[in-house]
Amino acid sequence: MSYKANTGHPHATPNFRNLVIRPMWMTLKTALRTVPFVGKLSILKNNYHGKPTTMVDATTMLRVGSNHPSVGQSFAPDRETSQVMPFVERPVTVMYPYERLEDLEPWLFVPGNYNGRIGIIWETCTACKACVKVCPNDCLHMTSEVRVNVLELTEEGDDHHGYGEELEEGGYAAREKGDYDGIASGFDLVNAHTDAPQQYDFAEVIELTGDKATVRWSDGSGIETIDSSTLKPAEQDIVSGQIDIGRCMFCGLCAEACPFESFFMTNEYDGMAEFSREELWMDASRTRVLPAVHQERVDLELAKRAKKEQKKRDRKAARAEA
Amino acid sequence: MMASRDWLDVVGWSESFSGWSMDNVHNIMPSNDIDMQVTIPSTWAWQEPITLGPIFNMQSGFASIQPALESFMHATIMCTVVFTTMMLTMLAIPYIERKFIGRLMDRLGATTTLRSLWVGESGVTAGEWWKQLPFGMGVPIGWAVKALNSTWGNSHDLETIARVNNRSYHGYWFLLPGFFQAFADFMKFATKEHIVPKNADKVVFEVAPVIILATTVMVFAFVPFGPHIYAANPELSLLFMMAIFGIAPLGVFFAGWASNNKYTLIGGMRSAAQLTAYEIPLLITVLGVAVLSGSFNIIEIVDFQMGQDQGNVWNIFLMPLGALLFLVTMIAEVERIPFDMPEAEAELVEGWWTEYGGIRWGLMFAAEYMRSYAACILFALFFLGGWEAPFQHTLSGLPVVGGVLTTVFSLIPGMIWVLLKAWLLFAVFVWIRASLHRVRTDQILEFGWRYLLPLSMLNLVIAVFLRLQFWTGEPWELWVPVAVTLISGGLFVILAIDEDKEALEIQRRPYSTQAVVKASPGSHRD
């Protein structure tokens, strides 16, 4: 009987107290509550999980009037009493979403045992789209674009020089188009809502050797080895991440596919019922999980990236020496 | 030892009535000798005349068999009295079961047996059947029913609630709604067809209910309802009674086997399996009671608990552990939840009696309740002082009210206390049934062998120790039961508040998460 299960809740541990004493006390309390006079003792009166059970509260009484038949009765929305025995109450329903089972009766609620709403730590997402590819129901949608992040382009003499992006094998690179300034100036910023000025030709960096870079152009024009000084580092950024939760079957393959510990099946079970299918399209804000909730995962991911960064700097230092 | 006694001396009355009747029979017999001798005169073949036939006196002849007849008559009367008492007072048992479990589980169910047929609910009066009666005989009935319906019917200001309350009628205790359901049930069972499965072992199938019922009724032969209400009182009534109590599981096994059905077979097997787990601890616990009270006679055990000059303390205060063990093992013995695996209706349709129907099912059901009832009475007799009022001696010894209370206690027959205690005990049975879940076969085996058996041995050791060390033939020193009760209660409380502190700390699981941003903008949470 000293068997200790990691059930995650003290009320869910199978010991003498929880298997015998607690249930017997609960039933006894329930029975004693039906006894006239004795049932009114405060020790038996747990109202509704500690909240008052007045059917009509003061505010409601303003609306329905003080001669409504339910006024003065010890009702709760789900606890029925009668005038004959007003101290007999029957709790039936957890008044979700006003109340939730894990708040009221945590011993009945086993967290982490099911796949709930999808939660994503967007801060550590790299837009690799592994989740999108693996989703059997096509309910994940992610738009990303390769772009030049000007904030990363620190130059010689800047405060943060050396900390920004740089060309990297396997990464992305961009080359200014010939008409760079013309494209920018000719762009209709007022009327173009969906397009961005296409000032760059993007490419994937295949190999970096000295000053030369071998790249594969994204427009399909093939592999070319050019001077790396003409290239700017580019990166793939998320433009939008959406989930059609109405199509989701909560298989959790996406969470398993995520190589960056960013994708989770939470135990949230609400917020997935709406009045139209459109409302079931959940944007990034509705899937957000705070990094603090998964601090250890975030730390893991950050450590991984710090290691990578360190490697990069070591390489750079080695190159500088050479 | 001064045997306890009260004015309800049924045994004495029966004995004196038997004696009186037989004396009267004796007296109306002709007192003179009846000469039925025939003398054959002597012939050549025999010299002496031969006298054949008796000279008999009916009175003295009757006198030689009168004691046997008296005890037979006495036994018959007492068997009838005890059986009738048992059957009548047992009406309360299923009533307690149904009513109390409704309150325990917050399911105050429909009270629709006799009461709702008669009174009706919410203005519905069972089809106004009194209008069918001839000559307007039903008119007063209609008035009465309508008056009852409007006064005590299940109505509510809100019509919907009144309708719903048909399901959750709380009842007026003084109407005892549903009390006579047992009669209705019996009539139903008695009129049902007797069906024997085609492939059943017919003989054993028919014999099994007889075994169960006969042994169950036989248990009550040795269970005294009061100091003078018992059918038989042999020296070793405790042993007789426990021996007979243990036979019924055999009948259960017979029934399960003979029905030739997978559910009944599993039920019977489970019954046989759990038999070994509880029977031995039960007997050792009862042995502890016998050791503490110094007798194998149930009446003497009770007398020991209430005797002024020998014991004066209920056994429950001297061996609370024994009381707990007896309760647990008896629940297992009578196969009630949480040890009702043989008839686990959630898994095996109805367990070992799945194939039985009609009056056989009804009688076996009655036998189940009889066994529970017997268990409750035995608990009252072994541990709760039997027919002694709670703290009777202490209360009678109080300075001012003591005299009044003595008179009151002398007016109340002991059977009342036995019944009250037994019914209360049955309420505990029901309480346990409403609270605990059914255990698995392996769990009861482990529980029986690894916990009940050592604990019952410990209880026996405690009983021997108490008897040898602290009992001197005088009443118990007051500190002995107080100390035993306090220590046992303290241990129980320590066991009961065993909260898992580690579980409190590991509540946060690595993979359980909660989204911070509420998914639905309209959510009323937080």
pLDDT tens, position by position, B227-261: 888 998 889 999 999 999 888 888 888 999 999 88
With a cut of 60, say whether residue B370 has pLDDT above it: yes
Residue of B nearest to A89 (CA): B106
pLDDT tens readout for residues A110-132: 666 678 888 888 888 888 899 99
Percent of all residues in chain B with a pLDDT value above 70, rounded to a whole number? 83
What Cα–Cα distance (Å) separates residue B15 from each residue in B61, B62, B70, B202? Answer: 21, 18, 8, 43
Q: Which of the pair, A186 or A291, is modelled with greater confidence?
A: A186
Contact B415, B223 (CB under 8 A): no
With a cut of 90, say whether residue A170 has pLDDT above it: no
CA B447 to chain A, closest CA, distance in angstroms equals: 10
The residue-averaged pLDDT of B30-58 equals: 85
User: Nearest CA to B176 among B246, B96, B283, B294?
Assistant: B96
With a cut of 60, say whether residue B159 has pLDDT above it: no
Beta bridge partners of A240: A143
Residues B90, B92, B98: CA angle, nearest 5 degrees? 120
Q: How far apart are CA B364 and CA B354, in angstroms?
A: 12
pLDDT at residue B372 in the model = 93
Q: Which of the pair, A113 or A189, is modelled with greater confidence?
A: A189
- Interchain CB contact of A4 with B (< 8 Å): yes
Please state at what angle helix B181-190 crosses helix B92-104, rounded to 10 degrees: 120
Contact B348, B492 (CB under 8 A): no
Q: How far apart are CA A1 and CA A17, in angstroms?
A: 11
Q: Is the ipTM here above 0.85?
A: no
Q: Please provide the average confidence, as pLDDT, over all residues in chain B.
A: 82
Contacts of B513 in chain A (CB under 8 A): 119, 264, 266-268, 289, 293-294
pLDDT tens readout for residues B336-347: 888 988 888 888
pLDDT at residue B212 in the model = 92
Contacts of B525 in chain A (CB under 8 A): 97, 100, 270
pLDDT at residue B55 in the model = 83
Highest mean pLDDT: which range of A109-113, A277-281, B151-155: A277-281
CA dihedral B44, B48, B52, B58 (to 10 degrees): 160
Q: How far apart are CA A137 and CA A249, in angstroms?
A: 8
pLDDT tens readout for residues B479-522: 888 999 999 999 988 888 766 666 555 444 434 444 444 444 44
The residue-averaged pLDDT of B429-433 equals: 93
pLDDT tens readout for residues A241-262: 899 999 999 988 998 898 887 8
Q: By mean pLDDT, which of B1-10, B104-113, B188-197, B494-503 is the weakest?
A: B104-113
pLDDT at residue A41 in the model = 74
Structure tokens at B259: 């029905």
Q: How far apart are CA A291 and CA B60, in angstroms?
A: 108
pLDDT at residue B522 in the model = 46
The residue-averaged pLDDT of B178-183 equals: 75
With a cut of 90, say whether residue A216 has pLDDT above it: yes
Confidence of residue A146 (pLDDT cuts 50, 70, 90): confident
Residue of B nearest to A92 (CA): B106
With a cut of 60, say whether residue B429 has pLDDT above it: yes
Q: How far apart are CA B108 and CA B110, in angstroms?
A: 7
Query: What's the first-to-final CA gap in chain A, in angstroms?
Result: 69
- Contact between chains at B503 and A4 (C-beta distance less than 8 A): yes
The residue-averaged pLDDT of B192-207 equals: 90
For the four alpha carbons of B164, B170, B172 and B176, in that order, the dihedral sign comes to positive
Q: By mean pLDDT, which of A166-180, A274-288, B18-32, B164-178 is the weakest?
A: B164-178
Q: How far apart are CA B437 and CA A278, in angstroms?
A: 46
- Contact between chains at A10 and B161 (C-beta distance less than 8 A): no
User: Nearest CA to B338 among B199, B229, B441?
Assistant: B441
Structure tokens at B345: 């209706």
Confidence of residue B526 (pLDDT cuts 50, 70, 90): very low
The residue-averaged pLDDT of B302-327 equals: 86
- Contact between chains at A289 and B515 (C-beta distance less than 8 A): yes
Confidence of residue B374 (pLDDT cuts 50, 70, 90): very high
With a cut of 50, say whether residue A220 has pLDDT above it: yes
pLDDT at residue B161 in the model = 54
The SS3 call for residue B17 is helix
The SS3 call for residue B504 is helix
Q: Which of the pair, B32 or A131, is modelled with greater confidence?
A: A131
**Where would I find the H helices in A213-294?**
253-257, 284-287
Confidence of residue B303 (pLDDT cuts 50, 70, 90): confident
CA A241 to chain B, closest CA, distance in angstroms equals: 15
CA B396 to chain A, closest CA, distance in angstroms equals: 29
- Contact between chains at A270 and B431 (C-beta distance less than 8 A): no
DSSP state of A120: E
Q: By mean pLDDT, which of A137-141, A186-190, A275-279 is the weakest?
A: A186-190
Contact B223, B378 (CB under 8 A): yes
pLDDT at residue A135 in the model = 92
The residue-averaged pLDDT of A259-271 equals: 81
**Where would I find the H helices in B105-232?**
114-118, 138-152, 159-165, 181-190, 202-219
Q: By mean pLDDT, which of A13-22, A48-57, A186-195 is the weakest?
A: A48-57
Confidence of residue B307 (pLDDT cuts 50, 70, 90): confident
CB atoms within 10 A of CB B487: 11
Q: How far apart are CA B388 and CA B173, in angstroms?
A: 27
Q: How far apart are CA B478 and CA B278, in angstroms?
A: 33
Contacts of B432 in chain A (CB under 8 A): 24
Q: How far apart are CA B331 and CA A280, in angstroms?
A: 54
- Contact between chains at B157 and A69 (C-beta distance less than 8 A): yes
User: Nearest CA to B182 among B373, B395, B366?
Assistant: B366
Percent of all residues in chain A with a pLDDT value above 70, rounded to a whole number? 73
Q: Please provide the average confidence, as pLDDT, over all residues in chain A.
A: 78
Q: Which of residues 209-268 of A touch B (CB under 8 A)?
A: 264, 266-268
Confidence of residue A50 (pLDDT cuts 50, 70, 90): low
User: Nearest CA to B311 among B428, B440, B473, B163?
Assistant: B473
Q: How far apart are CA A87 and CA B104, in angstroms?
A: 14
pLDDT at residue A308 in the model = 79
Size of interface A-B (CB pairs under 8 A): 141
With a cut of 90, say whether residue B455 has pLDDT above it: yes
The residue-averaged pLDDT of B53-65 equals: 86
pLDDT at residue B9 in the model = 87
CA dihedral B384, B388, B391, B394 (to 10 degrees): -140
CA A121 to chain B, closest CA, distance in angstroms equals: 10
DSSP state of A229: G
- Contact between chains at B503 and A9 (C-beta distance less than 8 A): yes
Q: How far apart are CA B253 and CA B352, in angstroms?
A: 8
pLDDT at residue B168 in the model = 36
